[in-house]
Amino acid sequence: MWWDERLSGEIHTNEASTSSPAGGKGKAGKPDKKAERAAQRGKSAAAMTQADPSDPLKDQYGDTELVASQANSHRVWSQIEACSPSKEGEKLLLRGRVHTVRGKGKSCFLVLRQRTSTLQLVMFADDKVVSKGMVKYASLLPRESVIDVEGTVFVPKDPVQGCSQSETELHVISIRCISRAEALPFEVVDASRSEQQLKAADTQLVTVAVDTRLENRCIDLRTPANQAIFTLQSKVCQLFREALTAEGFTEIHSPKLIAGASEGGAAVFKLDYMGQPACLAQSPQFYKQMALAADMRRVFELGPVFRAENSNTHRHLCEFTGLDFEMEINEHYSEVLDVLDHLFVYMFNGLRAACAKQLAVINEQYPFEPLEYLPQTLRLPFEEGIKMLQEDGLDVDPLGDLNTEAERRLGALVKAKHHTDFFILYRYPLAIRPFYTMPDPTDARWSNSFDVFIRGEEIISGAQRVHDATLLTERAKVHEIPVDSIHGYLDSFKYGMPPHGGAGVGLERVVMLFCGLDNIRKTSLFPRDPRRLSP
Amino acid sequence: MWWDERLSGEIHTNEASTSSPAGGKGKAGKPDKKAERAAQRGKSAAAMTQADPSDPLKDQYGDTELVASQANSHRVWSQIEACSPSKEGEKLLLRGRVHTVRGKGKSCFLVLRQRTSTLQLVMFADDKVVSKGMVKYASLLPRESVIDVEGTVFVPKDPVQGCSQSETELHVISIRCISRAEALPFEVVDASRSEQQLKAADTQLVTVAVDTRLENRCIDLRTPANQAIFTLQSKVCQLFREALTAEGFTEIHSPKLIAGASEGGAAVFKLDYMGQPACLAQSPQFYKQMALAADMRRVFELGPVFRAENSNTHRHLCEFTGLDFEMEINEHYSEVLDVLDHLFVYMFNGLRAACAKQLAVINEQYPFEPLEYLPQTLRLPFEEGIKMLQEDGLDVDPLGDLNTEAERRLGALVKAKHHTDFFILYRYPLAIRPFYTMPDPTDARWSNSFDVFIRGEEIISGAQRVHDATLLTERAKVHEIPVDSIHGYLDSFKYGMPPHGGAGVGLERVVMLFCGLDNIRKTSLFPRDPRRLSP
C-alpha cells in the first residue's frame, strides 16, 4: 500500500518549528536570509502555475482562472471539521490556505488551514491518482496561497502531529491554486508562537516585532490566537446587546460629527464640516442623555469613540469601540449598578460557555489565569479603597484620583481579600469626575459615580448624571467649559428631564483584560494609536 | 359619588386639538401669541412649586428635592400598561410626563405620558384625599414636566377618549414634580399630527416646521411616531445581526480614521491626525475586505459612514449608519445574493411580527402602504430593467446609471408586473461601479454587481469584488485613484485572497423606505446634512 511507502522517506512532522530557518535567531520584517529565501520561493513558485501539458493527469492540478462568477456548479465545499473518521473513503472538496508545504522527491505533504483549523494533505506520485508534475506543482505552492483541494478522507494509524484535525488526513486527487501569495513579510507560524516557546533556551526561533505585525496586520490576524480574539470580541458585543435588550434597552446610533468641542478638553479631533468647525465625538455621552430627554428611557450604543490623546501606553487607543448605556433611574444610582452587575456577569458567563474553544486557543499563545468573578459583584466605597491602600503603606490622596499603580495595588488587595478580579469602586471625589456627574447629596466633596476594575485596571466609568438644567450649567462653568459650545446639550435638559445614570466601557479593554492580554493593540482589528493610522 | 360630580362641570376631552390656540393657524418656533402664553405659563408655574404649608394634605404634593440618590426605598414604579381594569382599586405609583393638563375650579384632569402610552389622571378637591391647593398645584404644572403620581386605579363607565389606556384612569392621591419643563418651543401634540389632520379644512391647527423640529429634536422625538420609528430602527439592527450571525458571520469594528483619501473622490471629510493627513471612512468597504484577507471568512459591521457630499435631498445624509457585510464566495456572486435575499426577507418578516404596534403608530401620523415583497426576491438583470424602461417610453442609456426618475419608474413597472416593492437589479455596467468591482468574465462592459430597490429607491449596493492584486491595481488606475494613497488596502491582496463579495445598506434608508416615509431626516436620531451639525 502506497501509504506505507512514504514512511521509508523522511517522516513528515507538521510542527511549527520546521518552518523556521536553520540559521540563528532572526527578526522578521528585516531583509535577512529568510526573506531572501521567501522571495526566491515566490519566484520559483511563479514559474510553476500550470500543469505539464503532456501529463495525463494535467486536469488535476494547476492554477484556476480568476474566479469571476463564470460558473455556478453548486459543488459543495467542506470545512476541515467535516473530515472526521466517519467520512473515511469519501471524496471531499475544501478551500483553504497553504499553511505549510514540504515536498521531497515523489511525495508532498501540505497543511491546509481554515482559520484555526488545520488538516494534513498527502500526495505521493503513483502516476494513477497523483503524477510527479502534480507533486512538483504542489511542492512549489507558496505558503498562504488559497487553494481548492479534492481528496479522499483517510484515517492514518497514528494521529497527525501538529494539526487540529489529527485523526484524519486527505489524500489529494486534485489541487488548484485560487490565489497565489507573494513572498511573505513574516510567517504565520512564526507569529503564532508563545512567549514560552520563544524564550525556551534550546530553540532558535524567529520572532516577529509588534510593528511588523501591525504593518502587515492582515497576515498577523491569521494566527490562531488572533482569530480567536476577534471571534470573542464579536461575542462580547452580542452578549452586551442581548443582556440590555432583555432589560428593555433600545439601541441608538448617535452622531460622531458634532459642532463645537464635544465634552471639552484638548483631546479632540477637529475638522471642517461644510465650512463649520466640527469635531469627532469623544463619547456618545451627550447624545445618550439627549435620547433620554427624548423619552427613550433606556438606551445603549456600540460605536467608535475618538480621543486625540498623545498617550503611548499599553491601554490607550485614539479610536476605540465604546459600549455605552444610559437609563432612567427612579431614586438611586445603585439601579445603574444593578444593571451593570447583571450585564457583566452575564457576559462573563456567556464568554466562558460560548468561547471555551477560543479561550483555549488564546491561552496557547498568551497564557492567562481565568478571570475570577463573583455571582454578585463586590461594591466597594472609594473611601474604603483608599483605606485599604493606606493600610498597605501606599501614600494616596483621599480626594485625588488613583494612578495606575494604585489601581493595580488595589486590584491585588481586593483579589486577596474578596477573591475577585472584577469589582466596583463607587462614590469618587467630585472634583475628579466630569462636570455632568451628580454630586453626592450629603457631602459635595463626593459624587454619585463609580469605576469598575478588571485585574486591577479601570475598565468602566459611570455615574448618576445631573438632570437639572440649572445645576448642569453651573457645573459646566465650574469646569471652565464654555457654555455656548454645549448649548444644544444643555438645552435638552430644559423641557423635563428624568433622573438618570449610565456607564461606558471600552470593548477592546474588556477583551484585553478578560483574556489577561498585555496590550490593547492585540484586541483592536486595525489599531489607531498616536503613531499608527494604517493599514 | 364624586366621579359623577365632575360631569356637572366642563366635560374633559383629551383630544389633541384642545391644546391648540384658539387663534388662527400659527407656526410654532416663531415668537407668536402661543409662545407668549407658554412663557407666561412657565412663569406662573414657577410660582407654585410647593404645597401650601397650612394645607393638611401638604405632604401629598409639591416639587421633590433634586433626585440625587438620597433614598433607596425600593418602592415600585409601574408602567401605564399595568393600569388594567383587573387592578381596579389598587394603589399604583407612576412616573411620566405631563402630556396635557386642564384644571377648572375644583377639578384637574391630566394626561400622563410614558413614550407612546397615555393615561388619564383625575383630581377632584374633596379635602379628604385631594385639597384645593393640590388641584391648583397640578393645574399649574407645565406640560412635559416629569412627575411622580400615586393614585387608585378606577374603571370609568365610558372609555377615556384620546388616551392609549382607555379602560382605566388613575384617581390621584399624591402628585410631585421631579423635573419642571420650561416654556416649550412647540407642543408635542402639535408635532404629532398627521398631514391629513393638518389639511382638513375645518381645523385651524398649529404646524411645526421641519427646522423647528430638528432644532429641538429632543422634544420632536417624543411624538408617538418618532418613538415608534426608533424602536423599529433598533429592531432592524437586531434582525440584521441575528440573520447574519446565524449564517456564520463575525461582527467587526473597523477604523473610521484612515490615512489618505478613503475610496477616493472629493466627498471626504479631512482632518489632522497627530500631524498626519487623515480622513473619515466613506464606508467600511476596504476594511471588511481586509478582514477577509485576514481569514475571517464572513464579516459584518454596523457603524457610522461619513460622506462630505453637498446633497440637499430627501435621501442623503452626511453621516449615516451603514449595515455592511462581506463574505467569501466559492464560485459565483449569486451566493451573496442568496444571503442578501434571506437576510432581508428575514428582516421584513421580523419587523412585521415584532413591530406591529410601532407600525400602526407610525401609520397614524404618516400613512403608508405595507411593503409588498416576495418570499424569494426577484432578481432582474440590469439589461432587462433597461428594456422595461425603454418599452415604457423612457430614454435611458443602456450603459449608463439610472437616475432617480428612472429608478422610480422601474420600481413602478416591477411592482405592476411582479407585485413586489423589493427587488434586485444585477449585472450593472462596469464603468459606473467602483474600481473594486469584478468585471463580468464574459463581457467587460458589464460587472458582477447589483443594486437593491425598495419602493423604487436604491437601498443596497453590492458586488463581487476583485480579489486579484494585479487586476485591482489596474482597475484603481483606470479610475484614476492614486495607487499610493490606498497601498495598505492593495497590499492586503498580495498574500492569498479568497474570492468574495458583499453589500452595504444604509440603516436610515431601510427604515425610511420600509415605512414609506418621505425624508431620511425622519429616521436619523440627530440628522447630519450639509446644513445641520447640531444638536
Tally of CB atoms within 10 A around A56: 11
User: Is residue B327 less than 8 Å (CB to CB) from chain A?
Assistant: no
Reference A383, options A368, A365, A370, A396; nearest CA is A396
Query: Is pLDDT at A261 greater than 80 in this prediction?
Result: no
Query: pLDDT, tens digit, for every residue of B430-485?
Result: 999 999 999 999 999 999 999 999 999 999 999 999 999 999 999 999 999 889 88
Across chain B, mean pLDDT equals 90
What per-residue confidence (pLDDT) applies to A185? 96
Q: Give the number of other CB atoms < 10 A from CB of residue B94.
A: 20
Measured CA to CA in angstroms, residue A291 lies from A13, A38, A295, B506, B508 at distances of: 59, 56, 7, 21, 17
Work out the pLDDT band at A196, boundaries 50, 70, 90.
confident
Taking the C-alpha atoms of residue B502 and residue B446, their distance in angstroms, rounded to an integer, is 18
The mean per-residue pLDDT over the stretch B418-439 comes to: 97
Q: What is the pLDDT of residues B151-170, one digit of tens each?
A: 999 999 999 998 999 999 99
d(CA B270, CA A255): 17
**A214 to chain B: closest CA residue:** B488
Q: Residues 268 to 307 of B: which have CB under 8 A from any A CB?
A: 269-274, 276, 278, 280, 287, 290-291, 293-297, 302-304, 306
| pLDDT at residue A262 is higher than 80 | no
Interaxial angle between packed helices B224-246 and A224-246, expressed in degrees from 0 to 180 and rounded to the nearest 10 = 150
Name the pLDDT band for A17 (thresholds 50, 70, 90): very low
Q: Name the average pLDDT for chain A.
A: 90
Residue A18: per-residue pLDDT: 36
**A contact test, residue of B69, B70, B241, B289 with most A CBs within 10 A:** B69
Cβ atoms of residues A375 and A420 within 8 Å: no
pLDDT digits (tens, 9 = 90+) for A385-421: 999 999 999 999 999 999 999 999 999 999 999 999 9
CATH-assigned architecture of domain A2-188? Beta Barrel (2.40)
Residue B74: its pLDDT value, please? 85
Do residues B277 and B294 make contact, with C-beta atoms less than 8 angstroms apart?
A: no
CA–CA gap between residue B141 and residue B102 (Å, rounded): 10
A201 contacts: CB under 8 Å, gap ≥ 6: none
Handedness of CA B465, B467, B470, B476 (dihedral sign): positive
Residue A445 backbone dihedrals phi, psi, to 5 degrees:
-75, -20
B-chain residues near A251 (CB < 8 A) = 233-234, 237-238
Q: Which of B184, B271, B499 is nearest residue A270 as measured by Cβ atoms?
A: B271
Could you tell me which residue, A36 or B212, shows the higher pLDDT? B212
Least confident window among A22-36, A183-197, B202-216: A22-36
Q: What pLDDT is attached to residue B195?
A: 83
Integer Cα distance of B190 and A509 in angstroms = 46
Query: Which of A224 and A36 is assigned the larger pLDDT?
Result: A224
| A1: confidence class by pLDDT, cuts 50, 70, 90 | very low
Domain-wise residue ranges, chain B:
2-185, 224-523
Q: What pLDDT, on the 0 to 100 scale, is given for residue B380?
A: 98
Residues 6 or more apart whose CB falls under 8 angstroms from that of B409 comprise B389, B392, B394, B456
- Write the class of the CATH domain B224-523: alpha beta
Supply φ then ψ for residue B159, to 5 degrees.
-60, 145
pLDDT at B196: 86
Which of B486, B447, B446, B452 minimizes the C-alpha distance to B464?
B447
Name the one residue in this structure whose C-alpha cell is 437616475.
Answer: B403
Angle CA(B291)–CA(B295)–CA(B297) in degrees, nearest 5? Answer: 80
Chain B residue with the nearest C-alpha to that of A317? B255
Per-residue confidence (pLDDT) for residue A195, from 0 to 100: 83
Report residue B17's pLDDT band, with 50, 70 and 90 as the boundaries.
very low
ipTM: 0.91
Cell of A397: 490622596
Q: In what order do the strands lie in the sheet with A276-280?
A: A257-259, A276-280, A270-273, B270-273, B276-280, B257-259
CA distance B346 to chain A (A): 19
Percentage of residues in chain B with pLDDT exceeding 70? 90
The residues in B 347-406 lying below 8 A from A, measured between CB atoms, are: none
> Residues near B198 by Cβ (< 8 Å), separated by ≥ 6?
B205, B207
Helix (H, G, I), strand (E, B) or coil at B308: coil
In which band, very low, low, confident or very high, does the pLDDT at A201 lie, cut at 50, 70 and 90? low
Q: What is the pLDDT of residues A294-334, one digit of tens each?
A: 999 999 999 999 999 999 999 999 999 999 999 999 999 99
Q: Is the model's pLDDT at B31 over the cut of 80? A: no
pLDDT band for position B22 (cuts 50, 70, 90): very low
> What confidence category does residue B200 fall into, taking pLDDT thresholds of 50, 70 and 90?
confident
Could you tell me the pLDDT band of residue A204, with boundaries at 50, 70 and 90? confident
Q: Look up residue B521 and give its three cell numbers.
A: 431626516
DSSP bridge pairs for B49: none
Does the pLDDT value for residue A39 go beyond 90?
Answer: no
What is the predicted pLDDT for the residue at B33?
Answer: 53
Query: What is the fold, at CATH topology level, of the domain defined by B2-185?
Result: OB fold (Dihydrolipoamide Acetyltransferase, E2P) (2.40.50)
pLDDT at A200: 80
Order the strands of the B298-306 sheet from edge to edge: B250-251, B298-306, B319-328, B500-506, B457-465, B449-454, B422-426, B378-381
- Can you tell me the distance from the alpha carbon of B442 to that of A381, in angstroms, rounded to the nearest whole number? 71
Which candidate in B179, B238, B508 is best for mutational testing of the A interface (most A CBs within 10 A)? B179
Top pLDDT among A28 and B199 is at B199
Which of B296, B303, B438 has its CB closest to that of A304?
B303
Strand partners, A97: A113, A146
Residue A307 is among the residues annotated as catalytic for this protein: yes
Signed CA dihedral, B427, B432, B437, B443: sign only: positive
Per-residue model confidence as pLDDT tens digits over B56-90: 999 999 999 999 999 889 899 999 999 999 999 99
Q: Of all residues in chain B, what percent are helix, strand and coil, respectively (each to 5)? A: 35, 25, 40
- At A491, list the grid cell: 438645552
